[in-house]
Amino acid sequence: MNALDSDGITIGVDIGGTKTHAVALGAGGEVLGEVRRRSGHGEELVVLAAVQAVETLAGELPGRAIARVGIGIPGTVDHLTGEVQQALNLGLDHVALGAQVSRRLGVPVHVENDVNAAALGSLGSPGEAEGRGAEPPSLAYLNLGTGLAVGTVLDGRLWRGVTGAAGEIGHIPLDPDGPLCVCGQRGCIEAMASGSGIARQWGADVPSAPEIADLAASGDERAASVLERLVWAVAGAVRLIVLAQDVRRVVIGGGLALALGERLRLPVLAQLREWEAASPFLASVAPADRVVLAPADRPLAAIGAALAARPV
């Protein structure tokens, strides 16, 4: 038994809109076990789902004490107090999530925004050891889900911003002639490169992202135009992130990215390389070389929530 084992294990819980995913993390960052269950809606059921996921996972690892729990959740979070100020999809409004789960489990609980958690979780992904010498890792995790946001690790530490709003780049307009966004602006990144943005452009009966890619490949003009905007906006987001923060990696993840995989990565790289070919400046910064897809088989937000809960 090594030092961290004797100290107990850390469990990371990713509370999503539909699924709550708990992961037990060993000392070396290895996944010791995982449990998935349906998420609840509203304060009581969200807390219950998280507690039960941890208890089920603990039951599968007999003899291992839980030292602490980290939670990642889509919403505005005060990581110092563990309060979820708002998580609309889960029906939470000013909920002391960390305190409630902690009381039920009897261990310290840390709460983090899920995209920030996924950024931390990406540190152990392939390619992340490629820093120069002893350079601490700096990366961005670009989440393409229902919305779009970025989580940033700078010099090995999560950058949350002074009010926790760092990385809300979804509402930066890129195209003045682009689709209208929920926020009232036109051509926001999120209006083109997110599940909700695609749904708004498409209207009723929106197909899945892979179906849109299939339709585009078979010559459907509406699908081709939606896909083209998606690729253009993701490439634009990568360029923005790299120029603003000069991170070594931009990890593209989230449900939309996972659903499309290489069908997103390859055209995004092609777009970035086209821009690089036209600009010696952009070519010198080489944004295309920094893009990787999030691994489909690693629960980054749950792993990162566990990492965030560990004492520094």
> Interface residues with Zn ion (CB under 5 A)?
171, 181, 183, 185, 188
CB of 171 to Zn ion, least distance (A): 4
CB of 186 to Zn ion, least distance (A): 8
CB of 192 to Zn ion, least distance (A): 10
* Closer residue to Zn ion, CB minimum distance, 85 or 185: 185
* Closer residue to Zn ion, CB minimum distance, 121 or 197: 197
* Closer residue to Zn ion, CB minimum distance, 37 or 171: 171
* Closer residue to Zn ion, CB minimum distance, 146 or 185: 185
Q: Which two tokens stand for residue 260?
A: 């499309």
- Give CA–CA dist 138/24, Å, rounded: 25
What does the CA dihedral 151, 257, 250, 287 come to, rounded to 10 degrees? -140
Residues comprising the chain, all counted: 312
**Which of 51, 15, 56, 50 minimizes the C-alpha distance to 34?**
56
* Closer residue to Zn ion, CB minimum distance, 104 or 171: 171
CB of 212 to Zn ion, least distance (A): 21
Helix (H, G, I), strand (E, B) or coil at 30: coil
**The three-state (H, E, C) secondary structure of 265-280, written as one string:** HHHHHHHHHHHHHHCH
CB of 177 to Zn ion, least distance (A): 15
Q: What are the counts of helices (DSSP H) followed by strands (DSSP E) for the chain?
A: 12, 13
**Which of 193, 200, 201 minimizes the C-alpha distance to 239?**
193
